[in-house]
Amino acid sequence: MQMRLRYDWVNSLRLNGTVNERECYSRFAERAVAPGNSAERVRRRLGGTIMSSWVEGTVVRLHAWTDTLYSLQLRADIAPFAAGQFTRLALEIEGEVIARPYSFLNSPDDPLHEFYFVTVPGGPLTGRLITLAPGDPIMIASKAAGFFTLGELQNAGVLWMLSTGTAIGPFLSILAAGELWRRYPRIVLVHSVRTANELSYRDRIQAELQRHPEQLQYIPFVSREETDFAIRGRVPVGIESGELERRACLSIDAENSQVMICGNPAMVHDTVKVLQERGLKKNRRHEPGQITTEQYWKGKIT
């Protein structure tokens, strides 16, 4: 179990491609937790070598958007985070602690922490998350992690935010945090889903559109059914064909764009490839570029 948790955590950080294994482990540096509570049980299970700092949070609300898409709101006293970062949620399931990374969807200023997730068939944690009720305890890492934040990006004329499925979450956090309005004159939020009923958070997006009508655009992609408002198909195809840029009346180019891509690893891979063919480069600390990515599970490595 220790190894499983260890490699899960290390892999999730590796997906960001910015920290080495030693740094990953050092992020487990533990703070004291009150003995006897769930946090202490999690700590014991994690053992003496790989230790994490866990806080016991309380579920406030579980909202079902569809029979597979849910939002979880919880209250927990955790360290401040930056919009775009992720944390880890954990539950003890049949005597085993199962922990997984989840992006914050709420603004860092919001006292309620919110996570948007899809149930994966047979998935150990999501199958249990959907049984939670208000008042239930849930473990959350005390410190957030990740580099999918505006602090890692250069300024640009256009910020493109490309997501699949539940990966709209970190972008909603970034929109709510507000820094982007000062740094990017034009912002395009793209949400790519299979069917239109999976375009969650339309009210929140609508409110942002009303607050920033000249600056923000929202362009949904729906791949498995026809609609009269979304682009039909997949994001990289929409970039290659020029349909996304035509819809936005903006171009994606190395001179004037920053592109954040989050979610399905195959989409991240295919989109990066298309963008690299246009001369955009991956964004690295020692060599700033235009493409910043986060993958939600293991797949094609970009």
Ligand X SMILES: Cc1cc2nc3c(=O)[nH]c(=O)nc-3n(C[C@H](O)[C@H](O)[C@H](O)COP(=O)(O)OP(=O)(O)OC[C@H]3O[C@@H](n4cnc5c(N)ncnc54)[C@H](O)[C@@H]3O)c2cc1C
Residues that bind ligand NAP (CB under 6 A): 68, 118, 120-121, 164-165, 192-194, 198, 223-224, 234-236, 264, 266-267, 270
DSSP 282: B
How near is the Cβ of 203 to ligand X at its closest, in Å?
19
Considering the complex, state which of residue 19 and residue 118 has its C-beta at the smaller distance from ligand X: 118
DSSP 185: S
Considering the complex, state which of residue 117 and residue 184 has its C-beta at the smaller distance from ligand X: 117
Q: Which does 290 bind (CB under 5 to 8 A by kind): ligand NAP, ligand X, none?
A: none
Could you say whether residue 165 binds ligand X (CB under 6 A)? yes
Contact indicator for 76, 57 with CB cutoff of 8 Å: yes
DSSP 110: -
How near is the Cβ of 243 to ligand X at its closest, in Å?
24
Contact indicator for 159, 184 with CB cutoff of 8 Å: yes
DSSP 234: -
How near is the Cβ of 216 to ligand X at its closest, in Å?
21
Residues pairing with 222 in the sheet: 193, 232
Considering the complex, state which of residue 166 and residue 292 has its C-beta at the smaller distance from ligand X: 166
Instruction: Mark residue 260 as left, alpha or beta (left: phi above 0; alpha: psi -120 to 50; beta: remaining).
Output: beta
Considering the complex, state which of residue 56 and residue 198 has its C-beta at the smaller distance from ligand NAP: 198
Could you say whether residue 297 binds ligand X (CB under 6 A)? yes
Among 84, 169, 220, 236, binds ligand X (CB under 6 A): 169
How near is the Cβ of 294 to ligand X at its closest, in Å?
6
The interface with ligand X within residues 4-43 (CB under 6 A) comprises 12, 15
Q: Where are the beta strands (DSSP E) in the chain?
A: 54-64, 69-75, 86-93, 96-103, 113-118, 137-141, 158-164, 186-193, 216-222, 231-232, 257-263, 291-295
How near is the Cβ of 148 to ligand NAP at its closest, in Å?
17
The interface with ligand X within residues 114-143 (CB under 6 A) comprises 115-118, 120, 123-126
Stretch that binds ligand X, among 32-40, 47-55, 162-170, 177-185 (CB under 6 A): 162-170
Beta-carbon contacts of 4 under 8 Å, excluding residues fewer than 6 positions away, are none
Q: Which does 267 bind (CB under 5 to 8 A by kind): ligand NAP, ligand X, none?
A: ligand NAP
The interface with ligand X within residues 43-82 (CB under 6 A) comprises none
How near is the Cβ of 100 to ligand X at its closest, in Å?
4
Q: Where are the alpha helices (DSSP H) in the chain?
A: 2-14, 21-26, 38-46, 126-129, 168-177, 179-183, 202-211, 235-240, 243-248, 265-277
Q: State the sign of the Cα–Cα–Cα–Cα dihedral 157, 144, 125, 268.
A: positive
Contact residues for ligand X (CB under 6 A)?
Answer: 12, 15, 86, 100-103, 115-118, 120, 123-126, 146, 165-166, 169, 294, 296-297
